[in-house]
Structure formats: C-alpha cells, structure tokens
C-alpha cells in the first residue's frame, strides 16, 4: 500500500476503493511481512471495523479518515483486542474498554489492522526490549527500527499501513520515525489524552501520529487530539484544525539551531543530512539563528531519573493479583508478588523499577529525584529563552542512523545516550516532529527534528509540509521488504 492517508482518503471518497479492500490488502501485507511489526492480528475484528466504515460511508456519514487502515501501538487499550504493551506481564490481557485515542479513531472511522510491536512498557530505543521479539527495520533487516514505537514505524515505512499511532515519553515517536524514514509528531503534553494509554512515565508520556507525510500526521492529529475529562492532565482548549496552516509560506521563519548540536556528538553522515535539511528550510525563506540550550547536556541524566521513578510507581499495579501474569508456583502472598513480577517483567523493565525505587527512596530523594526535577525546570527555561530568538528549533533526532540489531543491547547506558536530542523535549512538555531529511551510512534514513513552543503543532506541521513539498526524501521507500 503505497498511498498516503490523504491519497487513500480521496480514493475512498471517490468510491474507487472500499475500506474492506484496503483492510484486506493491509492484512495480507502484515501477514506476509518478515518484520515482526505486529504483536496481534485479528483479521475478523479488523474486517468488522472495515465493514462498519463502509457502512458509515454508504449512509453518507463518512469523515475524512473513514476507512483508513492504521496500526495501533499495543499500548492503547482497545476493547476486545489483546493489549500487551510489549510485555509478558500483559500477554493475556484483553482490554475491557477503549483508550480515548482508540475511541476517537473509531469515531473517525479508522480501521485497526493490528497491534504494533513495541518495547516493553515503551522502555527502549530499539524495540529489542519487546517480549514478542525485535522488529526489523524495513530499510535493512539487520538493523533496528528504533523504539519504542518500532512496530508502528516499520509498518508504515514498509507500506503495510499508511499510518500508525505511537507514544513518546523520551523520543519514542520521533526516533523510530527518524530511523525508518517516516514522519511523526509528539504533541505538547496534555494535547492528546492519556486515558487508556498504558502508563510508563505519566508526566512525560504523550501519544501522537506516525505516517509518511506531515499532511497525514495533521489529518490524524485532528482525530486524536482534544480535551478529555477522563485525563486529569488533558488541557481544556478549543479543538484545532491541524491542517489549517499546512501551505503557509515560510518567509521570515526563524530557525534556531542549538549551539553544539551539530558538533562532536553527531556522526558525519547525520550532520550532513541535517545541515542539508536546514539549508533547505533557508531556501524556503527561513532564517537560521544560533540558540543556546545550556542545560540540554543534563537531559539524559534527569530523564533517566524521572522516567524510572514514575515507572516504578506506575508498574506497581502489576502484582499478579488483579490482572496480568500470575506465577504458577508460590507458597505465600509475598512470593506470589515476587515471582509474578520476576517472570512477567523483562530485564530492562526490572532495571528501571530498581532505579526508580532507589531514586525515590528517602535517603536519595533529594540527591537524585529532586535534583532531576530542578534540571527539568532549567531545561524548560532554556527553551523559553531560546523561543524568544527563534520560532522553531531544528536539529538531529539521534546521533547516528539506525543501529544494527544487538549493537546496543549489552550496555543499557549506551542505548540511553542515543536519546540525547529527544528526552529534553519531553522534560519541557513541548511538541516536536521528526521528518526525513536525507540518507546516511548504509543508505539508512536520517530524521530532522523540529521543536516548537507549546501548542505550535500546526506550525511544525506547516514547516514539515512545505519541506516535503520541496523534497522527496519522504517519498523514498525501502526496496524489497513487505
Ligand atoms: N528511549 C527512551 C526510554 O527508553 C524513550 C522511550 C519512550 O519515549 N517511550 O525511556
């Protein structure tokens, strides 16, 4: 399926294809794919959703997305679908209700092709932490697709589906989008409801769309975003049309490039592609300015204190009592808890729980957790100061192109360091987007990151759309796979 959301929507509206036909094609591709992009396929359920979409259209009630096939990250609860969050702990969990993102997608007529593979509880940068096996990058199956939304990114890049949902706690929409050569946006914290989105680090988690183009992301964000009374951190704002500014010219746009971001820490191929991307923005009328983010260097340290701290609290609910995995053998309650959690959680999740409980413990709280929260404040202040001098910030998504499978698994800290350009955005709660800006080592895609001030999603999508109208990186597709 090489169409975009926009082009398939036009075909659906013209009646030249039906939702059932699109779903059937996507299912066949998903089933034949060697990428392991899906944890669960349920063709009957998918086709029922597709028939409902066709019925809606026949009744004259179709919206712009009715009948569009998507991959749903396996972190969004969806009634009747097995919802695992990539964990053995939830291997047998069938969600009894819809996350708000799922409910809104259904109301818009989106058709779920399957549940996209992901790092366990969204903890990871390569999708190698999934209890259901790693996902392969369609551009080179010996490489990772990025994480944690690796199945979503691979499924879109491979042309199985035109779009997918993702979540981004420290980069998990943007980094797999970058590694797989697609477009993805992490909205401002509070714009997309977290209700029914299995929690990793609640003050950082944010859902968002992944697709081939910025225009598609805008269309999907229209369906996903908006106030939800069931999420206490959802922001009460008027609904927006994120497609409204797509064609706005970029004349006079001030693009801030953080000092040092294109220096030592980034590989030469990524630097060249990102530099070319910034030059492209200048060609479109933008003006490059240098900005400073002096506390950015502490973002990874702060993130890897705060995220595990929140995770250790969120994951305490998986105790073998209420739902999820329960050990078969135990003698008393304490042993049942311990065995269920030891068996149900993978190594990285257990590592994060240990780190999280440690930094929250009475003796270390001030030294680690409190300090990390202070750094978080400083990073937000840095961004506020930078946005006095520029309209958006541009830079890399990751220091290199996609890693080889297994390259980073032996040393978790090495993997964490790959999040150097993404985690700070979540710490500040800001929106940011990844779009393809060229190719690097091994012919692998390189992502350009655009970061904006709070609620600047429409502007970011506008900049990315103009960029994509002038370039063809996003139109390239991996040969062979899928
Ligand atoms: N790689 C980061 C982590 O492992 C970010 C993951 C995410 O955004 N969910 O925590």
Q: Is residue 62 part of a domain?
A: yes
pLDDT in tens, 154-175: 999 999 999 999 999 999 999 9
Confirm or reject: Cβ of 169 under 6 Å from ligand 1: yes
Cis-peptide, bond into residue 148, ω within 30° of zero: yes
Please give the distance, rounded to the nearest whole angstrom, from the Cα atom of residue 320 to the centre of ligand 1.
25
Span 179-189, average pLDDT: 98
Can you give the CATH number for the domain in which 456 is found?
A: 3.90.1300.10
CA dihedral 403, 2, 208, 427 (to 10 degrees): 30
Residue 76's DSSP bridge partners are 197
Q: Is residue 21 part of a domain?
A: yes
pLDDT in tens, 277-292: 999 999 999 999 999 9
Q: For position 451, what pLDDT does the model report?
A: 99
Q: Is residue 465 part of a domain?
A: yes
Confirm or reject: Cβ of 412 under 6 Å from ligand 1: no
Confirm or reject: Cβ of 137 under 6 Å from ligand 1: no
- Is 73 part of the annotated catalytic residue set? yes
Give the residue among 477, 464, 479, 480 at the shortest CA–CA distance from 3: 477
For a ligand 1 pocket test, name from 192, 197, 419, 421 the mutation site with the most ligand atoms within 8 angstroms of its C-beta. Answer: 419
When pLDDT is cut at 50, 70 and 90, the band that residue 1 belongs to is low
Please tell me the total count of domains within the chain. 1
Q: Which atom of ligand 1 is nearest to the CA of 122?
A: 9
Q: Is residue 263 part of a domain?
A: no
Span 113-136, average pLDDT: 98
169 burial level (CB within 10 Å; 0-12, 13-18, 19+): buried
- Cα(430)–Cα(421) distance, integer angstroms: 13
Please give the distance, rounded to the nearest whole angstrom, from the Cα atom of residue 273 to the centre of ligand 1.
24
pLDDT of residue 177 exceeding 90: yes
When pLDDT is cut at 50, 70 and 90, the band that residue 480 belongs to is very low
Q: Is residue 240 part of a domain?
A: yes
CA dihedral 142, 147, 153, 157 (to 10 degrees): -30
Q: Is residue 273 part of a domain?
A: no
pLDDT in tens, 74-112: 999 999 999 999 999 999 999 999 999 999 999 999 999
Please give the distance, rounded to the nearest whole angstrom, from the Cα atom of residue 125 to the centre of ligand 1.
6
pLDDT of residue 117 exceeding 70: yes
Q: Whose CA is nearest to atom 4 of ligand 1?
A: 124
- Is 172 part of the annotated catalytic residue set? yes
Please give the distance, rounded to the nearest whole angstrom, from the Cα atom of residue 304 to the centre of ligand 1.
9
Confirm or reject: Cβ of 122 under 6 Å from ligand 1: yes
Q: Whose CA is nearest to atom 10 of ligand 1?
A: 123
**What is the β-pairing status of strands 69-73 and 111-116?**
parallel
Confirm or reject: Cβ of 419 under 6 Å from ligand 1: yes
Q: For position 216, what pLDDT does the model report?
A: 98
Residue 163 structural domain = 5-253+392-403+420-477
Confirm or reject: Cβ of 171 under 6 Å from ligand 1: yes
Please give the distance, rounded to the nearest whole angstrom, from the Cα atom of residue 302 to the centre of ligand 1.
13
- What b/e sequence results for 200-226 when a residue is b if at least 16 CB atoms lie within 10 Å of its CB, and e otherwise? bbbbbbbbbbbbbbbbbbbbbbbbbbb
96 burial level (CB within 10 Å; 0-12, 13-18, 19+): exposed
Please give the distance, rounded to the nearest whole angstrom, from the Cα atom of residue 95 to the centre of ligand 1.
23
- Cα(315)–Cα(468) distance, integer angstroms: 40
Q: For position 264, what pLDDT does the model report?
A: 84
pLDDT in tens, 79-89: 999 999 999 99
User: Which residue reads 């999820």 in tokens?
Assistant: 324
Percent of the chain with pLDDT over 70: 99
For a ligand 1 pocket test, name from 74, 127, 179, 307 the mutation site with the most ligand atoms within 8 angstroms of its C-beta. Answer: 307
Q: Any idea what the Cα angle at residue 438 is, between residues 433 and 441, rounded to 5°?
A: 115
pLDDT in tens, 213-235: 999 999 999 999 999 999 999 99
Residue 111's DSSP bridge partners are 69
Give the residue among 479, 435, 476 at the shortest CA–CA distance from 213: 435
Query: In whole angstroms, how far apart are CA 425 and each of 67, 146, 296, 317?
Result: 33, 18, 10, 28
Q: Which atom of ligand 1 is nearest to the CA of 169?
A: 8
Confirm or reject: Cβ of 125 under 6 Å from ligand 1: yes
**From the candidates 33, 87, 125, 148, which is the catalytic residue?**
148
Q: Is residue 66 part of a domain?
A: yes
CB 265 within 8 A of CB 420: yes
CB 124 within 8 A of CB 157: no
Confirm or reject: Cβ of 172 under 6 Å from ligand 1: yes
For a ligand 1 pocket test, name from 74, 119, 125 the mutation site with the most ligand atoms within 8 angstroms of its C-beta. Answer: 125
C-alpha 191, offset from chain centre: 14
Q: Is residue 290 part of a domain?
A: no
**From the candidates 87, 130, 152, 172, which is the catalytic residue?**
172
Query: In whole angstroms, how far apart are CA 93 and each of 85, 129, 193, 324, 418?
Result: 10, 19, 21, 6, 32
């Amino acid at each position: 399926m090489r169409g975009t959301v926009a082009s398939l929507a036009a075909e659906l509206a013209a009646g030249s294809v039906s939702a059932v036909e699109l779903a059937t094609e996507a299912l066949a591709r998903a089933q034949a794919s060697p990428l392991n992009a899906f944890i669960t396929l349920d063709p009957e359920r998918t086709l029922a959703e597709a028939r409902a979409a066709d019925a809606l259209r026949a009744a004259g009630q179709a919206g712009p997305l009715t009948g569009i096939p998507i991959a749903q990250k396996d972190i969004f609860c969806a009634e009747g679908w097995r919802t695992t969050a990539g964990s053995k702990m939830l291997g047998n969990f069938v969600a009894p209700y819809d996350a708000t993102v799922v409910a809104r997608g259904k109301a818009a007529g989106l058709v779920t092709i399957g549940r996209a593979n992901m790092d366990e509880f969204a903890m990871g940068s390569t999708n190698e932490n999934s209890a259901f096996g790693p996902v392969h990058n369609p551009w080179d199956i010996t490489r990772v697709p990025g994480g944690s939304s690796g199945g979503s990114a691979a499924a879109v890049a491979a042309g199985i589906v035109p779009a997918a949902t993702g979540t981004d706690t420290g980069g998990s929409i943007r980094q797999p989008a970058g590694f797989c050569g697609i477009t993805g946006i992490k909205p401002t914290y509070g714009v997309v409801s977290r209700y029914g989105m299995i929690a990793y680090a609640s003050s950082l988690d944010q859902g968002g769309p992944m697709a081939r183009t910025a225009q598609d992301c805008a269309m999907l964000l229209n369906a996903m975003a908006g106030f939800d009374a069931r999420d206490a951190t959802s922001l009460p704002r008027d609904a927006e049309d994120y497609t409204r500014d797509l064609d706005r010219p970029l004349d006079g746009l001030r693009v801030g490039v953080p000092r040092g971001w294109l220096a030592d820490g980034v590989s030469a191929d990524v630097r060249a592609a990102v530099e070319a991307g910034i030059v492209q923005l200048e060609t479109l009328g933008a003006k490059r300015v240098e900005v400073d983010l002096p506390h950015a260097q502490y973002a990874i340290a702060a993130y890897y204190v705060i995220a595990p701290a929140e995770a250790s609290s969120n994951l305490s609910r998986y105790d073998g009592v209420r739902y999820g995995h329960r050990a078969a053998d135990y003698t008393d309650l304490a042993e049942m808890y311990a065995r269920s959690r030891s068996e149900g959680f993978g190594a990285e999740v257990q590592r994060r729980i240990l780190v999280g409980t440690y930094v929250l413990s009475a003796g270390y709280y001030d030294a680690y957790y409190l300090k990390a929260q202070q750094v978080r404040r400083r990073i937000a202040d840095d961004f506020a100061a930078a946005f006095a001098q520029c309209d958006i910030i541009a830079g890399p998504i990751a220091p290199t192109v996609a890693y080889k499978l297994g390259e980073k698994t032996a040393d978790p800290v090495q993997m964490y360091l790959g999040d150097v350009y993404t985690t700070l955005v979540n710490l500040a709660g800001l929106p940011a987007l990844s779009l393809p800006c060229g190719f690097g080592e091994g012919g692998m895609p390189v992502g350009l990151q655009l970061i904006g001030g709070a609620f600047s999603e429409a502007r970011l999508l506008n900049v990315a759309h103009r960029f994509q109208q002038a370039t063809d990186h996003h139109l390239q597709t991996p040969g062979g796979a899928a």
